[in-house]
Structure 1
Amino acid sequence: MLQSTPAPYWRTLSRQAALAVAGAALITLAAKLQIPFWPVPMTLHTLAVMAIAVAAGPRLAMATLAAYLAAGAAGLPVFSGTPERGIGIAYMMGPTGGYLAGYLLGAGLTAWLAQGRGTLGRIGAMLSGLAVIYALGLAWLAQFVPAGQVLSAGLFPFLPADLVKVALVAAGATLPWHRLGGTASR
C-alpha cells in the first residue's frame, strides 16, 4: 500500500494564501452588490464575512479579512461605496471604520466559536460575531454622529438584514464547504 506524503509547507501556505485572496475578492464583490431593503439598501458584506468565518476556520477567516482590509488600506476600491466615498486609510478612518475592524475580529470569533458546532451553535457563533461587529462599529460611529442618533444611524436600519444574512449562512452551512479548502476544525 502506497502512502501519500504530506504536501510541503510552502505548498499548503500558498494554497491558504490563494484562498484568502479569493475570499477577499468574494467579500469585495459582496460589498459592491446592493439589494433593495427597507429602510436602507443592504449589501451582502456581512453575509460573505459570516460565510467565510463558518466555512474556513479561524486562521483562514482572519487571514481573509486581513487581506481584504489590507487591500482597502492600500487604496483599492474594495469597500462598499468606494471609490465614490473615498478610498484607502481615509475611508477606513471614516464613519464605517469601526465596522471594518469589527469584521476582522467578528469573523475570528465566529470561526472559533463555530468549530465543530451544529446549526444552532453556528447561529450562536454568528450572532456573537455580529455583536462584535456592531459593538466596534457603533463605538467608532459615535465619533461622527450625535450620541442620541448612534443606534438609529448604525444599528436599527441594518440589524434586520443582518439577521436574514445569518439565517441564510446557517442554512447554507450544512453544505460540504470543507471541500473548497477550509475546514470548520481549523
Structure 2
Amino acid sequence: MIRRTRILAYSGTFIALIAAGSWISIPLPPVPLTLQTLFVLLAGIVMKRYGVIPVGLYVLLGAANLPMFHNGTAGLGVLLGPTGGYLIGFIPAALIVGLAYEHESIQWRVGGLILATTVIYLFGVAWLAYSASLALPQAVLLGVAPFVIGEVVKVAAAYSIGKRLA
C-alpha cells in the first residue's frame, strides 16, 4: 500500500515539475530549449522504472488538451508538430534512466542518463525531419546542435541531484 501511495505522490509531483519545466525555456526555432528533460531524467532517477508513469501521463494529459507542453500549448497538434518526437521520446527515456538507476554502478547510471538523452533526440530528430520535410542532416543541425551544451549541463545536473535523491 505504501509503495502505491509513494508512486502516486511522486507521479503527481513529476507531472507538475515537467509541466513547470516546459515554461522555463530559451526560444530557439524550431525546438525550444526547456527544463522538461531535466525533470524527465529526475523522474527516472527517483522512481526507477516507475518514472515512466508520470512521464507517460504528462504526454497523455498534454495530448488530451491540458496546457502541459511548452508555454501552455496542448493537443495532438503539438505531438504531430515539429516538437512531437521529442515529447514522445520522453517516455522511453524515463524508462531507460529508471532501469539504469536500479543498478548501483556509476557507469550504469551515467550511461543511462546519456542513452536516455540520446533517445529523446533520436525520436525528436526523426519526427522533425519527417514533419517538417527536412533532410536528416538539416534536422540534426536544427534539432540537436543548438542544444548539446544545454543537454550536457542538464545531464550533469540530473546526476548531481540524483546522488542526493536516489
What is the TM-score with the length of structure 1 in the denominator? 0.79
When Rg is computed on C-alpha atoms for both structures, the one with the higher figure is 1
Aligned twin of 1:171: 160
Matched letter for residue 146 of structure 1: L
Aligned twin of 2:112: 125
Maintained 8 Å contact 2:101/2:109? yes
Q: What do residues 55-104 of structure 1 show as CA deviations (whole Å, max 9, x unaligned)?
A: 21012x01010111121011111111333xxx211111111111111100
Aligned twin of 2:18: 27
Distance in 2 of aligned mates of 1:157 and 1:21: 31
Task: Give the CA RMSD over aligned residues.
Answer: 2.1
Distance in 2 of aligned mates of 1:135 and 1:42: 16
1:105 aligns with 2:96: no
Matched letter for residue 46 of structure 2: A
Give the structure with the higher percent helix: 2
Distance in 1 of aligned mates of 2:121 and 2:27: 21
CA drift at 1:53? 1.0
Maintained 8 Å contact 2:86/2:123? yes
With over 3 angstroms needed to count, the CA separation of the structure-2 counterparts of 1:119 and 1:170, relative to structure 1, is farther
Distance in 1 of aligned mates of 2:162 and 2:119: 21
Matched letter for residue 138 of structure 2: Q
Maintained 8 Å contact 2:97/2:113? yes
Distance in 1 of aligned mates of 2:77 and 2:26: 26
Aligned length: 162
Instruction: Indicate which of 19, 44, 48 corresponds to 1:53.
Output: 44
